[in-house]
Amino acid sequence: NRYVKISFESEVCMEKRVIFFDVDGTLVDGATGIVAESTKQALHALRKAGHILCLATGRGMRSLQLGGFDKLIDWDGYVCNTGQMLYDHEKNLIFEKYIDANAVYEALALAKKNKQVMLLEGKDHSILTDEADDYVIQTHEFIHEELEPVAEYDGFPVIMMMVFAPMGYDYQTFDQISGIRAIPGMSAFADIVLDGFSKVSGIEEMMRALGEQGYICFGDSLNDIEMAKHADYAICMGNGHDALKAVSDHVTGGVDEDGIWDACKELCLI
């Protein structure tokens, strides 16, 4: 493992670091859709201290812009769609990878068989495959976004998909489709992403673009586990999944408890 865990000693902790932030449940409170003032203050303090700040999220760029998360700070880079779409400081697309059309059609057929609604995300628009059910509504309330239009898939390039089902649902039948895998979310959905891609693969590509090595990360969910395992230092939010807490170096307060600010102060990043 080429990643070496760092120790936050007083003489080194103020050095410039590359820091990646998850969005939902980390920067933004999923219950309220609010970014805490202390979180905003921490981001600006980190910027003032000279750190390199990036997002690493399952959301696409369009979703980040609709939520205003791209405006929280002058981000140095964006790892979007669980590593499949990368954007630089100016939001120029620097890397893109789409799901094979055959896998899209197989996933659609499986969801139809299971009577599940899917969301298909392209570069410029997203669609729902059927009218929103309770699980779709629950998920959109969690991410605080309006429902996408219902439309028939016409073959447009798909970056990623979401399938909606009760919390705790077993999505392994989607994993059996060649080229994709399912990552359960913290609400009534799973992200369907390209097999072999993750926040880590996107972060590694971003680090090459930035000319940097080693990073710190903040996260809360199952799709942050690989990111945490490969980080120099990983911080899990207090509201985070137990599986992420188990592989993180530090557990801070919740997203609604000044968790990011407290961790940054405790680890003398600011």
What pLDDT digit, counting tens, does each position of 59-110 carry? Answer: 999 889 989 999 999 999 999 999 999 999 999 999 999 999 999 999 999 9
What is the rounded average pLDDT for all residues in the chain?
92
In angstroms, the CA 54 to CA 18 distance is 8
Q: Is 86 exposed, middle or buried (0-12, 13-18, 19+ CB in 10 A)?
A: buried
The sign of the torsion formed by the CA atoms of 210, 27, 245, 46 equals positive
| 7 has a pLDDT exceeding 80 | no
Looking at the chain, the whole-number percentage of residues with pLDDT higher than 70 is 95
pLDDT of 18 reads 96
Question: How many Cα atoms sit within 13 Å of 123 on the Cβ side?
Answer: 12
What pLDDT digit, counting tens, does each position of 150-180 carry? Answer: 999 999 999 999 999 999 999 999 999 999 9
pLDDT of 145 reads 86
What pLDDT digit, counting tens, does each position of 211-232 carry? Answer: 999 999 999 998 899 999 999 9
pTM of the model: 0.85
